[in-house]
Amino acid sequence: MEQKQKILIVDDSELNRAILADMLDDEYEIMEAENGLQGVGLLQQRGAEISLVLLDIVMPQMDGFGVLEVMTQNHWIEDIPVIMISAETGSSHIERAYELGVTDFISRPFDALIVHRRVVNTIMLYAKQKRLANMVADQIYENEQRSSLLIDILSHIVEFRNGESGLHVLNVRTLTELMLNHLVQKTDQYSLSSSDISMICTASALHDIGKISIDEKILNKPGRFTDEEFAIMKTHSMAGAEMLENLPIHQDDPLVKVAYDICRWHHERWDGRGYPDGLQGDEIPIAAQIVALADVYDALTSKRCYKDSFSHEKAVEMILAGQCGAFNPLLMECLQELAPDLPTLMSDSNSVAQRDRREMRNVAQEMRRHEELTASERTLQLLEHERMKYSFFADMSKEIQFEFTVSPPMITLSNWGAEHLGLDEIIMDPMHQPDAQSVMEAVDFQNLTDALRSTSPELPVVTYDCKLNYKGAWRWTQIVARATWSSDEPPRYTGAIGKAIDIHDSRMKLNALERMASHDSLTGLLNHSYAKKRILERIETRPAASYALVIFDLDHFKTANDTYGHSFGDQVLIYLAEKLRQCIRGGDIAARAGGDEFLIFLEYKDDVEVVISRIFQSLCGQYEHFPISVSMGVALTTAVPGGYDALFHAADAALYTVKRSERGHYRFYDETMRQTLSVISPIEDGEAPHEDA
């Protein structure tokens, strides 16, 4: 049963859509969009299935002209006819609509019969045109296959007489193609287009047709030719050329002309000592020069009745050394540059050629079986199947999948992804669209597009971590995207496809673990080992600055613990840590260094004593009934060279000195304290093992 063709109605009034749908839905399947943006989205997703668009002009989000502009940019307008229906009757509107490529313009109020007739006519016209285009394309394809098949058969017959493998023609063609492609990359001296190249390759198969006029006894003689035999053998090039020249028809065909050049001159030499005409240098057409080289290479690497085969390396060496003829130095360069990859390239493209032929046969058989189905329709069906498969898996996967195109700037989200992010499936101009911007920070969007733009077609994948807003909740997300590049030379960046993965929970876990490893669980200050790491980093970044390391502990802390209990002791520590946080500056580093010992690391410029004194004063006070008094030792980098450990020991020694003499004071380290002991004790819960004890 034939499937109904699809019509897309884009109109913001439901009633208008319903009237149109009612007129058409007996014969056509109707798709509806309530604004231009939705229309563009449906065209992007399912354009290949849509046979006609009925388009209103005045609509929210994107008007009808906007839709036409997008359709023009993407060349959709060339395949999908548009009929505009509008209450706008100004001639400027109608003119603009036609300029933008609409097929027809119907003014409101419309007559149902006219709408119906015009829709049917337009669809029929386009379908006919499409069918004709398909027929022409299929026929060209078939013809091309047929003619190269005939050439292959013909040249195979020549080889067969010659007792050759049948691969010679194929090898010569492959090497000719490789050489030509390499040559045009090096120079445009010979101005060869890609169709010239393909013609030369096809014609190369005919280079030895003249051998059909040579006696088989001579052709297949195992030993050396006599002078007489060689003279006969040499006539094959001219003979081949004459056969082509005397063709009753097609003499002016470019393929025949190229084949003539190749037949006649593929035994000429660059130095002018070849046959039949003794042409010199670029007097010899480039096609003949290249086929000559390919012919020699394949003769060397193949087994013949008069010789064994040489290895690839040996063959190249012999040609480059001038042992097998004289060639254009430029071609020698090409051969030399191609040489390392040549064996792989040859076997690859030969097998591709053979596979192509096999596939061709399969496709041809398939097509005969389904005569009503043309190749192009088959492609469409496959495409439709792929699309269905893709959207099914996209929905199942519960992932945010997206597609981004540069022109028009547009993001298409998978159904699930759009719902999850609270966005539309189609977002036009995402850089300037407020909804899209509220989901991803502009700077992240910019970074991601920059990263994609700087990829290459060989390495197109980018991974980018950032926060996305999932309907109000910002969550860490990993975006893995693949840039898409056009197949032009040079390739153009056309957009990207990819998906966004929610990594928030694992990321948060990691952060928490990191925090647990770096912070003291009781006071929330840094622990000693992490503080040391930060201090070392600080000194390394600004080694010339002056720093002070301060260590202090609580006087009579043991009494507090003994009198009021350990949990009171913990309260005191928490209180003191809070005080400490309040009295230091943002850039300073504060840590709990041991049981009731704390550490401060700060940078200073002028009078450090004022700073220390201020900190000292603000730490002293009272917590509930417990008077808070601290003893403090200070070491300055200016006074204690030798890095962190020396600095720490010095501050520790200064603190010890205070403790031993008069608690409740602070002192700076000086040389007299060199021999003193340490006061630092391990933390009671054992979380931060003491490194410097």
Partner 1 sequence: MTLQECYAAMGGNYEDAIGRLRSERLVQKFVLKFLDDGSYALLCRSLEEKNYEEAFRAAHTIKGVCQNLSIDRLQGSSGRLCEALRGGYTPEADALAEEVQADYAQTVAAIQTFQKASMG
Sketch the per residue contact string, 100 through 139, with partner 1: x for CB under 8 A, - otherwise: --------xxxxxx--------------------------
The nearer residue to partner 1, 26 or 540, going by C-beta atoms, is 26
Binding partner 1 (rule: CB under 8 A), the pick from 1, 2, 3, 15 is: 15
> Does a cis peptide bond (omega within 30 degrees of 0) precede residue 490?
yes
Closest CA to 633 of 610, 663, 605, 603: 663
DSSP for 573-594, written as a single string = HHHHHHHHHHHS-TT-EEEE-S
Closest CA to 72 of 49, 48, 43, 95: 43
> Does a cis peptide bond (omega within 30 degrees of 0) precede residue 408?
yes
Cα–Cα distance measured from residue 231 to residue 363, given in angstroms and rounded to the nearest whole number: 47
34 lies in the binding site for partner 1 (CB under 8 A):
no
* Interface segment toward partner 1; rule CB under 8 A; list 57-65, 178-186, 233-241, 448-456: 57-65
The nearer residue to partner 1, 45 or 61, going by C-beta atoms, is 61
Q: How many residues bind partner 1, per CB under 8 A?
A: 21
Binding partner 1 (rule: CB under 8 A), the pick from 31, 40, 43, 59 is: 59
* Interface segment toward partner 1; rule CB under 8 A; list 16-24, 188-196, 482-490, 600-608: 16-24
The nearer residue to partner 1, 53 or 628, going by C-beta atoms, is 53
> Does a cis peptide bond (omega within 30 degrees of 0) precede residue 109?
yes
- Assess contact for 403 and 411: CB atoms under 8 A: yes
* Interface segment toward partner 1; rule CB under 8 A; list 6-14, 249-257, 629-637, 675-683: 6-14
Smallest distance, Å, CB 96 to partner 1?
A: 16
Smallest distance, Å, CB 116 to partner 1?
A: 9
- Assess contact for 395 and 417: CB atoms under 8 A: no
Coil, helix or strand at residue 86: strand
Smallest distance, Å, CB 3 to partner 1?
A: 26
The nearer residue to partner 1, 11 or 208, going by C-beta atoms, is 11
Binding partner 1 (rule: CB under 8 A), the pick from 16, 220, 350, 681 is: 16
Smallest distance, Å, CB 89 to partner 1?
A: 10
Coil, helix or strand at residue 226: coil
Query: How big is the chain by its Cα radius of gyration, in Å?
Result: 42
Smallest distance, Å, CB 87 to partner 1?
A: 4
Sketch the per residue contact string, 347 through 386, with partner 1: x for CB under 8 A, - otherwise: ----------------------------------------
- Could you give the angle at the alpha carbon of 87 between the alpha carbons of 81 and 91, nearest 5°? 75
Closest CA to 285 of 239, 233, 331, 322: 331
Residues in the chain: 693
Q: Strands across the sheet with 546-554, in order? A: 526-527, 589-592, 597-604, 546-554, 630-636, 666-668
Give me the amino acid identity at 275: Y
Report the run of H or E that residue 145 belongs to, with start and end: helix 112-162
183 lies in the binding site for partner 1 (CB under 8 A):
no
Binding partner 1 (rule: CB under 8 A), the pick from 56, 424, 596, 652 is: 56
Smallest distance, Å, CB 112 to partner 1?
A: 5
The nearer residue to partner 1, 59 or 244, going by C-beta atoms, is 59
Contact partners, residue 373, CB within 8 Å, separation at least 6: 367
Sketch the per residue contact string, 62 through 91, with partner 1: x for CB under 8 A, - otherwise: ------------------------xx----
Smallest distance, Å, CB 62 to partner 1?
A: 12
Smallest distance, Å, CB 141 to partner 1?
A: 46
The nearer residue to partner 1, 38 or 171, going by C-beta atoms, is 38
* Interface segment toward partner 1; rule CB under 8 A; list 58-66, 352-360, 385-393, 440-448: 58-66
Quote the distance between the C-alpha of residue 618 and its chain's center. Answer: 59
Show the tokens assigned to 298: 């394949």
Using the structure block, give the residue that is written with the tokens 């209990």: 565
Q: How many of the other CB atoms lie within 10 Å of CB of 300?
A: 21
The nearer residue to partner 1, 110 or 310, going by C-beta atoms, is 110
Coil, helix or strand at residue 255: helix
The nearer residue to partner 1, 9 or 284, going by C-beta atoms, is 9
Binding partner 1 (rule: CB under 8 A), the pick from 48, 58, 330, 332 is: 58
The nearer residue to partner 1, 59 or 411, going by C-beta atoms, is 59
Half-sphere exposure of 140 (CA within 13 A, CB side): 6
22 lies in the binding site for partner 1 (CB under 8 A):
yes
Smallest distance, Å, CB 423 to partner 1?
A: 22
Smallest distance, Å, CB 474 to partner 1?
A: 31
Cα–Cα distance measured from residue 468 to residue 544, given in angstroms and rounded to the nearest whole number: 41
The nearer residue to partner 1, 21 or 423, going by C-beta atoms, is 21
- Assess contact for 495 and 484: CB atoms under 8 A: yes
Report the run of H or E that residue 479 belongs to, with start and end: strand 473-485
Smallest distance, Å, CB 12 to partner 1?
A: 6
Binding partner 1 (rule: CB under 8 A), the pick from 5, 6, 19, 416 is: 19
Smallest distance, Å, CB 23 to partner 1?
A: 8
- Could you give the angle at the alpha carbon of 107 between the alpha carbons of 102 and 109, nearest 5°? 150
Closest CA to 531 of 582, 594, 574, 576: 594
The nearer residue to partner 1, 109 or 586, going by C-beta atoms, is 109
Using the structure block, give the residue that is written with the tokens 């899209």: 436
* Interface segment toward partner 1; rule CB under 8 A; list 52-60, 136-144, 174-182, 229-237: 52-60
The nearer residue to partner 1, 111 or 227, going by C-beta atoms, is 111
Report the run of H or E that residue 561 belongs to, with start and end: helix 557-564
Coil, helix or strand at residue 335: helix
Coil, helix or strand at residue 401: strand
412 lies in the binding site for partner 1 (CB under 8 A):
no
* Interface segment toward partner 1; rule CB under 8 A; list 17-25, 136-144, 353-361, 618-626: 17-25
Show the tokens assigned to 354: 């053979």
Binding partner 1 (rule: CB under 8 A), the pick from 5, 6, 12, 276 is: 12
DSSP for 22-76, written as a single string = HHHTTTEEEEEESSHHHHHHHHHHHGGGEEEEEE-SS-SSS-HHHHHHHHHHTTG
Q: Residue 395 burial by CB count (10 A; 0-12/13-18/19+): exposed, middle or buried?
A: middle
Query: Rule CB under 8 A: which of 657-676 touch partner 1?
Result: none
95 lies in the binding site for partner 1 (CB under 8 A):
no
The nearer residue to partner 1, 16 or 447, going by C-beta atoms, is 16
Binding partner 1 (rule: CB under 8 A), the pick from 4, 60, 323, 456 is: 60
Please give the residue ranges that form the binding site for partner 1 (CB under 8 A). Answer: 12-16, 18-19, 22-23, 56, 58-60, 86-87, 108-113
